[in-house]
Amino acid sequence: MSARLTLSLDAMGGDRAPEMVLKGIQIARKRHPQAHFLLFGDEAALGPSLKRERDLAAVCEVRHTDGVVGNDEKPSQALRRGRDSSLWQAIQAVKSGEAAGVVSAGNTGAFMAMAKLALRTLPGIDRPAIAALMPTLRGDCVMLDLGANAECDADNLVQFAIMGEVFGRTVLGLSNPTIGLLNIGTEDQKGTDTLRQASALLRDSTLPIRFQGFVEGDDIGKGTVDIVVTDGFTGNVALKAIEGTSKLYTSFIRGAFESSILSRIGYFLARPSLNKVRVRTDPRRYNGAMFLGLNGIAVKSHGGTDALGFANAVGVAVDLVTHGFNDTIKGEFMKVQRASGLDLKGLERAANG
């Protein structure tokens, strides 16, 4: 049996918390028997369930907190007033070393702001990025940043590429993951100055990555590269455009099957195969956005998810911890700096001059 792994959970974050969180742990504890959970939240709300369900209680420890960060609270508000919140306290458990990672389905902006303040970024990384897996024609790909940084410079994009590469190698187990920079064309002259500059930096042979150049929006679904790197504005719009299109197709196809008796029979016959598609593209399967680049593992679950989705987000945190993602990142950035004899800002100046 592997060594015990402790995660701290924000039990009060998410539309259906804390019930959804508790049910999520019931699923997660079977998948990850080595996991133990520090549950931050209202003891009065959590206690009765834990008394009833002894299997659950055996892997959980409740830490009472009074406050909850609201979904509409601005990050700055949450930082000022949220020190007694379940979210802040759950993050503190990672900072203190009690927990190896934190999972919350609460307010994304507040979670990122608090995690940045408490955990700080890893050496060599200026800004953390949000990353997630996406379905493609060739397995899954990873896209980052999905919204932590609305505006990014070339250095940020290079750092995201290195983090994405390490993720592909350590967590996904790819031996040589390919990286693409999201743009509006694949030719060298396409896009913004920042993208052209980042592309020049990524082509630098001292970086230990396999950069394929620019990719376009449809390359995400095609699975052209393993890691899609972009700024947080573009990544967030692309992610949500993809989610919207998935819902559109699901709705059109459901409508088609319900539109006649023959179609209903057809659906009944094809159901086992169609269920595989449903499972393959289930948003819960892809739940668990990673805050990469922090001194500690932090995973954001979708606020509207259910127990299964939350359990998947817990699984993402377990994966990041188990595969030593952060230690590898630190090593990679030291290698980059040794190989180039420069820090990344220096690399940029070298590329420009």
9 forms bridges with which residues in the sheet? 39, 103
Q: With contacts defined by CB under 8 A, name the span among 51-59, 86-94, 96-104, 219-227 that binds its own copies.
A: 219-227
Q: How many CA atoms lie within 13 A of 6 on its CB side?
A: 15
The minimum distance between CB 244 and its own copies, in angstroms, equals 3
352 is an interface residue for its own copies by CB under 8 A: no
Residues 251-290, interacting with its own copies (CB under 8 A): 251-253, 255-257, 259-260, 262-263, 265-274, 276-277, 280-281
89 vs 149, beta carbon nearer its own copies: 149
Q: Are 331 and 339 in contact (CB under 8 A)?
A: no
With CB under 8 A, what is the number of residues at the site for its own copies? Answer: 62
Tokens at 14, concatenated: 């998410």
The CA R_g of the chain, rounded to the nearest whole Å, is: 21
Cβ-count burial 188-225 (b if 16+ within 10 Å, e if not)? eeebeebbbbbbbbbebeebebbbbbbbebebbeebbb
Report yes or no: 296 and 117 within 8 Å, Cβ to Cβ: no
Residue 242 in contact with its own copies, rule: CB under 8 A: yes
Give dist(CA 198, CA 156) in Å, integer: 9
Span of 21-29, 77-85, 234-242, 329-337 interacting with its own copies by CB under 8 A = 234-242
Task: Give whichever of 123 and 185 is closer to its own copies, judged by the CB atom.
Answer: 185
Binders of its own copies among residues 123 to 142 (CB under 8 A) are: 135-137
The identity of residue 315, as a single letter, is G
Give whichever of 253 and 339 is closer to its own copies, judged by the CB atom.
Answer: 253
Of the candidate residues 4, 30, 31, 74, the single one contacting its own copies (CB under 8 A): 74
Note whether 15 binds its own copies by CB under 8 A.
no
Which of 83, 98, 203, 249 binds its own copies (CB under 8 A)? It is 249
Give the closest residue to 146 by CA, choosing from 161, 132, 165: 132
Name beta bridge partners: 300: 104, 289
Tokens linked to 19: 């019930």
Task: Indicate the residue among 290 and 329 with the shorter CB distance to its own copies.
Answer: 290
Assess 248 for contact with its own copies (CB under 8 A): yes
Task: Enter the tokens of residue 334.
Answer: 């030291």
Which runs of E-coded beta strand occur in 78-217? Answer: 101-104, 129-136, 139-144, 178-182, 210-215
Whichever of 237 and 342 has its CB closer to its own copies, that residue is 237
Q: Cβ neighbours of residue 39 under 8 Å, at least 6 residues apart? A: 9, 11, 21, 25, 46, 60, 61, 62, 63
345 binds its own copies (CB under 8 A): no
* Candidate residues 173, 189, 205, 353; the one interacting with its own copies per rule CB under 8 A: 189
Which spans of this chain sit near its own copies (rule: CB under 8 A)?
74, 135-137, 147, 150-151, 182, 184, 189-192, 216-222, 230, 232-234, 236-249, 251-253, 255-257, 259-260, 262-263, 265-274, 276-277, 280-281
